[in-house]
Structure 1
Amino acid sequence: MMQSLFFASCVNFLLGGVLGALGGLFGIGGGLIAIPVLGFLYGMDQQLAQGTALVMIVPNVLIGFWRYKQRNKIELRSAMLMAVPAVFATYFAARFATAIDARSLHFSFAVFMAVLALYYLWTLMRRQKEVTPRVLLPQRYIFFVGIFAGATAGFFSVGGAIVAVPGLVAFFGATQTAAQGLGLAMVTPGTLVALWAYASAGHVDWTVGIPLALGGVLSISWGVALAHHLPERRLRMLFCGALIAIALWMMIHG
């Protein structure tokens, strides 16, 4: 019994290492890739896969926030304006996600992946022009970013910062670096809340999630280092293609 448990933990640790490296390589996608992989390999339903993936996502978000805070100045006022509504939105969205039909959540997640892939594909295909960032909305509306990103993070277990960053750049004139820092500051407490909500509903497999998290923490830096030696545009194109392929597979086999 102990030997089989140890072997399973080693396999999950290695799997977490692969997923963490892929997350670092693509810049985004550790959790996005982990959720369908857990469903395919372990037969987990959508809620259990999302909750278990959060065990791996939480330390990566915490480490990313800590490293960013060391090197950059984060606007605490803007971060708080987003983080507070994001926490509430994350909690209620996570509670809703744990209560609905797993097949409906599965299909919704597949659609979310496809839309996200198409968005990033569009940003890659359009011509990039050097322009001064435009402020389309005043700062007092920034809490809407927190609500939307928090709801996405709670419902799908991923996507908070992915949604927040383009919103901050497009509507509030933030630079990419500043948006990434604010996004991390916003999603850090919400990610912890989401994990608590899924765990409270019994949708976390800790025996799988903890080894995944340990493997991911140790390998994510390797993926980041490899990404700096490969063409970013090609990496993003591959990532978008992989997301679309996985989304279609989930829709067909949902």
Structure 2
Amino acid sequence: MSALILALTAGASVGLALGALGGGGGVLAVPALVYLLGFTPAAATTASLLIVAATSLTALYAHARAGHVRWKTGTAFAAAGLLPAALAGAAAAHLPRALLTCSFAAVAAFAAVKMLRPAVPAVPAVPAGSGAGAVRPGAAAGAGAGLGALTGLLGVGGGFLAVPALVTVLGFEVPAAVGTSLLVVSANSLASLATRSGAAVSVDWAVVGPFTASAVLGAWDGRRLAARVSGPRLQRVFAVVLLAVAAFMLGDAVT
């Protein structure tokens, strides 16, 4: 199968995940770039950030139009992660390949387990427009900083962890958590890319360009899918995929 077809197929899957779940694009993009398209882990994380940033911004627009973005809380959440994302992005280029691969596999497995065992919101859900931005700002800042560091280090947007955090820590409904997570993902990805500007020059745009375009289109389909299929069902399907990806990457790293 040609690299172009692989890039288009993988890109559509990444966009579908981001549009439907508010995250998960980077967790699919990095292994696809490494194992299907022959990128090194370092190049894959940089390319993944480019793909996830473009796709999440597109999906954010669609969710914002539907009123599913809590701008005040989301901005605070994202702002807390900007510096950690930039610092971790600068450090990632100096880490061994095996360590990055194992770390990525561990994060993917953890996210899958969280999705298979959804937690009950820790605080009552706050209706849109009722001042959700004032809910537990300290908790939002702490979670945002951790997600920012994860984004910079592993090239993932962090949305697959941001959605559970917004639900359990801040009491968001799932649609609002998905929409707001896209704001966080966009900001973290762009912050991490700012520290990798030199690395972006070496990106294979013949592959990354079609991959990104397909992901952007897939994000619109994902948004429509989310309106038709229940959030828990989508999360369970995605969790199974994550577990398979994690097991494959871990096996590759230790052999």
Partner of residue 17, structure 1: 12
Partner of residue 207, structure 1: 206
Q: 1:66 to 1:149 in 2, by over 3 A?
A: same
User: CA contact under 8 A between 2:46 and 2:199: conserved in structure 1?
Assistant: no
Partner of residue 238, structure 1: 237
Q: Distance in 2 between matches of 1:25 and 1:182?
A: 13
SS at match of 1:172: coil
User: CA contact under 8 A between 2:59 and 2:223: conserved in structure 1?
Assistant: no
Q: Distance in 2 between matches of 1:223 and 1:184?
A: 13
Partner of residue 220, structure 2: 221
User: CA contact under 8 A between 1:95 and 1:197: conserved in structure 2?
Assistant: yes
* CA displacement 1:47-72 (0-9 Å, x = unmatched): 21121122221111111222222232
Shift of 1:119: 0.8
Shift of 1:107: 0.6
* CA displacement 1:26-53 (0-9 Å, x = unmatched): 6643321121121112332212112112
Partner of residue 62, structure 1: 57
Q: Distance in 1 between matches of 2:136 and 2:20?
A: 35
Which of 70, 79, 88 does residue 93 from structure 1 map onto? 88
Shift of 1:199: 4.0
Deviates more, 1:166-175 or 1:71-80: 71-80
Provide the identity percentage: 27
Q: TM-score, structure 2 length as denominator?
A: 0.80
Higher CA-based Rg:
1
Q: Where does structure 2 lack aligned partners over 5 or more consecutive residues? A: 127-131
Shift of 1:248: 1.1
Once superposed, what is the RMSD of the aligned Cα atoms? 3.1
Partner of residue 183, structure 1: 181
Deviates more, 1:138-147 or 1:53-62: 138-147
Q: For this pair of structures, how many residues does the alignment match?
A: 244
* CA displacement 1:163-193 (0-9 Å, x = unmatched): 2232232223333333334323333222112
Q: Distance in 2 between matches of 1:74 and 1:101?
A: 37
Q: TM-score, structure 1 length as denominator?
A: 0.80
Q: Distance in 1 between matches of 2:117 and 2:137?
A: 27
State the one-letter code of the partner of 1:70. Answer: R
User: CA contact under 8 A between 2:10 and 2:32: conserved in structure 1?
Assistant: no
Matches within 5 A, 1:25-64: 28-64=23-59
Partner of residue 129, structure 2: none
Q: 1:165 to 1:220 in 2, by over 3 A?
A: closer
Q: Distance in 1 between matches of 2:82 and 2:19?
A: 25
